[in-house]
A and B are shown apart, each in its own frame.
Chain A
Amino acid sequence: MAEQIINPSTTHSTKVAGQGYDYTIGPTQTLPNTSTATTSGTGFVVPTTGIYGQSLISKEKQVSLSAYAFLFQSIVSYHRDSSKNVQEIERKLNSSGYTIGMRLTEILNFRDSVPNKTGLTNMDSVAGTITNMKRRNLKILETLQYIHLTVWQYLFSRPSNDLVKSSERDNEYMIIDNEPTISQFIQHTSVQCESFTCGIIEGFLDMAGFPCHVTSHFVEETGFSNRTVYLIQFDKAVVERENLRQ
């Protein structure tokens, strides 16, 4: 693919519409002879199965905690075996969370835009029911509130315990969870297994346009030995942009 010559867009006479997009060729036209061929099915068949035939509104799905803990344990030990030092394990855990977080930005907001979600779990297309998209979150606090409430609710079935702004630095915010779900069976170790959750937060904020760096810290409190603080450090540009719009 990489070695192919990129042709100007007028030279795509060999390409038939409906065969997928190829960036080395450019946009394909809806040619007069193919635009009417949907019903006859000559080279322009619309498949009904696969990922495009499924609904984006999922039923209330729950995963068994023991199965999840077992899987997470395997992920951590896999990364431990393939890494040279602690930072590398944490980085790998972070990057696997990142890919989840960046998808959550789009999917959770989209689901919030759909009115009356009941009864839509079997429909392939729900976009027709949307009259107005939910507003995109433009402010730091709006976005963090969204993570604190909606994202946590989606991931762990409860909102996080606290959302705090650092009093020393204006680009630092903290999300606090008294009993983190994914690492509840893990004793205090040199490896921060909560790096996975950090990756989710980081991916979410990066995609939403708030580039940041997230780290997790154990801050014990009576009764909560696993109490975790997720420290979110936004890039300078984010804070500057925020100040401009006030």
Chain B
Amino acid sequence: MFYFTIIGTSDNPIYEAEFTTAKNTFQPEIKELNPYIVHSTLDIMEYLQWQRQPQLDINTSSGGFLRSRHSTQENSYLGKVDSFYGLAVSGFLTYGNIKFIMVHGNGTVDDTVTRSFYYEVYELYLKTLMNPFYKVNDPISNSAFDSKVRVLSKRLFV
């Protein structure tokens, strides 16, 4: 199960979704906590935002030198940025400093899958932004966007 949010430039949520299956659903008490977990991650994201090489100790301990070499090349996808009692949190920053944050209910972040998910969602977000009637930081209420993101979410469960 995953809880995915897009956070605007003034720390306002502009899109939220839960990706669950019949077997994997968030417990009601965790479900209520998810927005708070994301909120506390915002501070870490803002810390990483202006780092030349965004790196956290939790990344280096798990990934070895390949992981750290990678982060010198890219600073949009941040990988695992936070954890909360067995839940993992991953993050992505767009060029306009919109934050994509996801709570991974299974406690691990599969970098390849998560990265490609973020890229695809970023493309969808960009298409929303290209609409001249959409203002930055407005909630994205388009049902086509919602459906497309949910279709993309399926690859997370593989």
Binding site for B on A (CB under 8 A): 8-10, 17-23, 26-32, 35, 38, 44-47, 50-52, 54, 56, 99, 102-103, 105-107, 109-110, 125-128, 130, 132-133, 135-136, 138, 207-209, 241, 245
Contacts and interface: CB of A to CB of B under 8 A. Distances in A.
B77 A133 contact: yes
A21 B96 contact: no
B13 interface: yes
B115 to A, nearest CB: 9
The binding surface of chain B is classed by DSSP as: mixed
Interface in B37-92: 49-50, 52, 73-77
Contacts of B77: 133
Given A17-B146, A106-B129, A56 B141 contact: no
B31 A9 contact: yes
Contacts of A110: 95, 122-123, 126
Contacts of B17: 17, 21, 27-28, 30
B21 A20 contact: no
Interface of B: 3, 5, 9, 13, 15-22, 25, 28, 31-32, 34-35, 49-50, 52, 73-77, 93-97, 116, 119-120, 122-124, 126-132, 136, 139-148, 150-151, 153-154
B74 A52 contact: no
A52 to B, nearest CB: 5
Contacts of A128: 116, 119-120
- 3 smallest beta-carbon distances between A and B, as pairs: A32-B22, A27-B16, A20-B143
Contact of B153 (A30, A51, A207): A30
Contacts of B144: 46-47, 50, 52
Nearest to A130: B119
